[in-house]
Amino acid sequence: MKTYPQSISLPIFLPDFLRRVLLLSILALYYFAATAQDLSFTNPVLESGVAGSDGAIYRFSKVNGKVDALVTITARSSSLVKLQNLDITGTGYNKAFQPQVIFNNNVTPGGVNDWWMEFKVSFVNIGTNNAATVDSFSLSALDVDGNGEKINEWVSFFNNKSFTLSHTTLLVPSNITETIGITNTVIGKKFDGPAKRYNNIDTAATDVMVNAGYGSLSNFKFRTGARSTSANGSTDGMYSFLFKSLKTSMEFTLPLVLTEFSATLSNKEVELSWVTGKEKSLSYFVVERSVNGVEYKEIGVVVANGGSNVKTLYNFSDEINSKVAGVVYYRLKMVDFEGRTQRSQVRLIRVGEEKDNLRVDTYPNPVTSELRITMPLAWQNTTVSFDLYTLNGQVVKHLVAGKCNQTEVLNVNDLTTGLYIMKVSNGNESAVQRIVKK
C-alpha cells in the first residue's frame, strides 16, 4: 500500500522562485519513492517454445524502464501439472508476476500429493537477449496460503542471499540441499504455507508473505508448489510475486571476443587460462571465486593488453586451501577504460579425494537441469566427447570439448524423465555412468 504526505511545510522567508523549486523537488522525491519501488510484470509475450510447456520463454518488456525480463518454464514435478495462466490480470496485485498452476485437471486425488512448477527469470537489456547483471533486488511471495482444509501452497527460492518473515508468520521455512561430491550444500529455501485460506491478495497479510533478497546475478529460479493430504477441493493455485528495487549495473557487451576460458586442477592448484580474439579499450580482468555459486570474491587482477585484433593468452593460478571440499566456481569480470564491465561464463572445479583415472563423476544424480561431469586429471586440456543415450541406444545429447575443463556442464533440462547412459571418451579411454533425469 502506498502512502503519501498529508502536508508539506516550507520555510516562509525563502524567495518565491526558490520556494517553487524546493516544492517541486520534494514532490518529485515523493513521486519517485512512491512509484519507483515495484517492477511492472505486465503483458507477457510468448517468445519461443510451446505455450505452457517446459522450455517456453515469455518476455515481459521494460519491467523497470531499463531491462526486460524473460520468464522460462524450466521444469514441473509431473505431466499432471499444467500452467492455466502465465500472469492473471484483473485480480490480485497488477504489477506482480501472477502464474496460475493446476494439478490433475484441477481435481485433488486421494492420498498425499505434492506438485510444483519451476520458473527461471532472466534479466536482459531491453529488446535483446543480452544478459543484464542485477546488483540487487528483492522478491516477495504474497498470499502463500491454502484452501481452508486439506491443501496448502508453498514456494521455493534458489540462490537467494537472504529472506525475511514477519514475526507473526504462518510460513514454515526449510533448506533445499544438493549433494555435490561429498558436500551437502544448501542451494535454496522452501516456505510452506498454512491450510488457512485468505481472501484475495493483500500486501498487508504479512503472516503469509516471504521476502527474498538477491544480488549480483542475471537470472534465478523459483518454484510454485502445493501439497494435499487427501481428496479435497480443487488444485487451482494462484501465486503472486512482487519484484522491488531492481538495481542494474553498467554491464553490457564490450567490444571484446573471449574465445576460450578454461579451469583445470593439479596438486591443489587451479590453473585458469583464457584467450581473447579482439580487444578494444580493455583495461583489466578481475578473477572472481565463489564456494557456493552465489557470492563471489575478487582474488586477483590481470592487466589487459588494452587493444588488439590478434589472439592474446592470459593465465592465473589459484592455490586451493587443503580444507576446501566440494565445488569452487570461477568467473572473469572484464573492465574497460570507462569502467564498464562484462562477465564470462562460470567454470567449476571439484575439490575432493583423488579418483581413479578411468572414473568420471556425474552430479547431481538424479539431475533436473544441469549435469556436472568431472574428468580424470589426465583428461584435462584434451579433447573429450560426451554422449548421452536412452536405454534403447538412441543418442539424445552430444558434446565435444576441445580443451576439456576439469568439470564440464551438460544442460539436460529439455529431456524427459527417465534413465539415460552417459558415455565420456577422450579417444583412447571411455567411462560410462547411469544418469537419472527427474
More confident residue, 437 or 77: 77
Q: pLDDT above 90 covers what percent of the chain?
A: 23
Residues 231 and 272 in one domain: no
Residues 314 and 431 in one domain: no
pLDDT at 164: 83
Q: pLDDT above 70 covers what percent of the chain?
A: 84
Residues 303 and 405 in one domain: no
Mean pLDDT (whole number) for 250-273: 74
pLDDT at 357: 44
pLDDT at 184: 61
Residues 122 and 180 in one domain: yes
Question: 92-119: per-residue pLDDT in tens?
Answer: 888 899 999 999 999 888 889 999 999 9
Query: Is the residue at 426 inside a domain?
Result: yes
Question: 366-395: per-residue pLDDT in tens?
Answer: 888 888 888 887 788 888 888 888 877 778
Q: What CATH number corresponds to the domain at position 395?
A: 2.60.40.3080
pLDDT band at 403 (very low <50, low <70, confident <90, very high): confident
pLDDT at 255: 57
Residues 102 and 242 in one domain: yes
Note whether 372 and 407 are within 8 A (CB): yes
Q: Which of 197, 222, 248 finishes a domain?
A: 248
Mean pLDDT (whole number) for 143-162: 89
pLDDT band at 29 (very low <50, low <70, confident <90, very high): very low
pLDDT at 86: 95
Question: 178-235: per-residue pLDDT in tens?
Answer: 765 555 667 788 999 999 888 877 777 888 999 888 877 788 999 999 999 988 877 7
Note whether 368 and 438 are within 8 A (CB): yes
Q: How far is CA 6 from the centre of its chain?
A: 41
Which residues, at least 6 apart from 190, have a Cβ–Cβ distance to it below 8 Å? 154, 155, 156, 173, 174, 175, 176
**Pairing relation of β-strands 134-142 and 240-248?**
antiparallel
Residues 240 and 366 in one domain: no
Q: Which DSSP category does 28 fall into?
A: H
Query: Is the residue at 164 inside a domain?
Result: yes
pLDDT at 54: 94
Mean pLDDT of the chain: 80
Residues 343 and 385 in one domain: no
Note whether 206 and 168 are within 8 A (CB): yes
Which residues, at least 6 apart from 65, have a Cβ–Cβ distance to it below 8 Å? none
**Count of the separate structural domains present in the chain:** 4
Q: What CATH number corresponds to the domain at position 101?
A: 2.60.120
Which residues, at least 6 apart from 165, have a Cβ–Cβ distance to it below 8 Å? 171, 173, 191, 210, 211
Least confident of 5-19, 131-145, 167-181: 5-19
Residues 197 and 244 in one domain: yes
Residues 243 and 274 in one domain: no
Query: Is the residue at 298 inside a domain?
Result: yes
Query: Is the residue at 97 inside a domain?
Result: yes
Q: Which of 219, 248, 277 finishes a domain?
A: 248
Q: Which domain covers residue 185, as residue numbers?
A: 45-248
Query: Is the residue at 412 inside a domain?
Result: yes
Q: Which of 351, 382, 407 finishes a domain?
A: 351
pLDDT at 278: 74
Which of 81-95, 273-287, 297-311 has the largest mean confidence?
A: 81-95
Query: Is the residue at 3 inside a domain?
Result: no
Residues 325 and 420 in one domain: no
Residues 233 and 127 in one domain: yes
Burial 27-36 (b: 16+ CB within 10 A, else e): eeeeeeeeee
Q: What CATH number corresponds to the domain at position 277?
A: 2.60.40.2060
Residues 222 and 330 in one domain: no
Query: Is the residue at 339 inside a domain?
Result: yes
Residues in the chain: 438
pLDDT at 257: 66
Which cell numbers in the block locate residue 157?
527460492
pLDDT at 328: 86
Q: Is the pLDDT of residue 13 over 90?
A: no
Query: Is the residue at 2 inside a domain?
Result: no
